Amino acid sequence: MTIDPGVISAEMVAVHERAAAEIGPLPDATLLPPAEGRALSERVNERWNRDLPEMAGKSATLVPADPDLGSADCPLTILSPSQAAGGTILYVHGGGFAFGSSRSHERTARVLAGEAGMDIVLPDYRLAPEDPFPAGLRDVVACLRALIAGAVRGLGQAPVLVAGDSAGANLALAAILHEQAQGRPLPAGALLFYGNYAADLTGDSYRRFAEGPGLTTARMARYWGWYAAGRDIAREPLACPLAASDAALAALPPLHLMAAGVDPLLSDSVALQARLAGLGRTETLDIVPGVTHGFLQATRELAAAREALAAAGAAARTIIKNLETASREEAHHGMVDNIRR
């Protein structure tokens, strides 16, 4: 792997070099049989999940299968910070729709829980290629519905946000679009980190960072191939959210958008923010310079990762605060209208 220190920050270079020295040369997990690649990915991710931040509580539960929705039993891990500001975040892990788990992203989730002051719920949704689109999405939707309804054991009724990184950001946004189309209650907002939102891999960043470091355009193509399983999903908004209509995107709840500066997927976040801006929405895109795809895993070693999650935690609190303010104002206007009648 060749790293250009003129593009990547010195701190990010050091993280890559330390990881390579500790882990050693490894095969490309996407070229192995899926189960072997998944096991290798889990082993590599153990490195990023040492010295976990303390939580006030950690528990496990299950969202039962919903035959009408087509979801399966979905295990959940619940992380509760010591300082709770109120609210719950459904955090959908990344991994190209095929790899990753609640364990691989636990440190990232714990840091975000502390920064937001909110419970974090990590679902172990079904993975491709054994369970391609829309299996994992249906599991995420089922978990989102259960949280919004206050039906998850161990959690009370609270405002819900959805978050995700990489393929998890895709699934988080797709879950909102799914529920929007069904006319069902939506989360208060979303935190979307370096997501892949379209199967078109021709954007500028896919060319500029085609060979990584880390994620490559070829690996992303293999992930999409596993997820699509031979289907043409390029115009399916629930697989490729950038294919959503203007009306659907305009009606989304507030979004916090973040991308890595040295990442094949950067073009997707740029395109999403541009679509939103063209519809009159006010979301900005925070592009973290000098870091590579998946950098949020490195909170133990990388200041940029900790700072990005602190910004996301602050954004989550702002979304909840604005929601509560709007609810109070609506209630006040309702009282005034009743008095006038």
Residues in the chain, overall count? 341
136 CB-near residues (< 8 Å, 6+ apart): 97, 125, 126, 127, 128, 171
Of residues 93, 178, 256, 293, which has the active-site annotation?
293
Per the CB < 8 A criterion, the answer to whether 115 and 313 are in contact is yes
Q: Which residue has the tokens 């929007």?
A: 180
Q: Is 178 a catalytic residue?
A: no
* Six-digit token string for 46: 């153990």
b/e per residue 119-150 (b: at least 16 CB within 10 A) = bbbbbbbbbbbebbbbbbbbbbbbbbbbbbee
> What gap in Å lies between CA 236 and CA 207, rounded to an integer?
24
Q: Is 41 helix (H, G, I), strand (E, B) or coil?
A: helix
**In the chain, what is the greatest distance between 2 CA atoms, to the nearest angstrom?**
74
d(CA 210, CA 262): 10
293 part of the active site: yes
Say whether 232 is catalytic: no
Query: What would the DSSP string read from start to end of 125-151?
Result: ---TTTS-TTHHHHHHHHHHHHHHTT-
Which residue in 263, 267, 268, 269 is the catalytic one?
Answer: 263
Q: Catalytic residue, from 166, 205, 267, 269: name it.
A: 166
Q: Which residues are catalytic?
A: 166, 263, 293
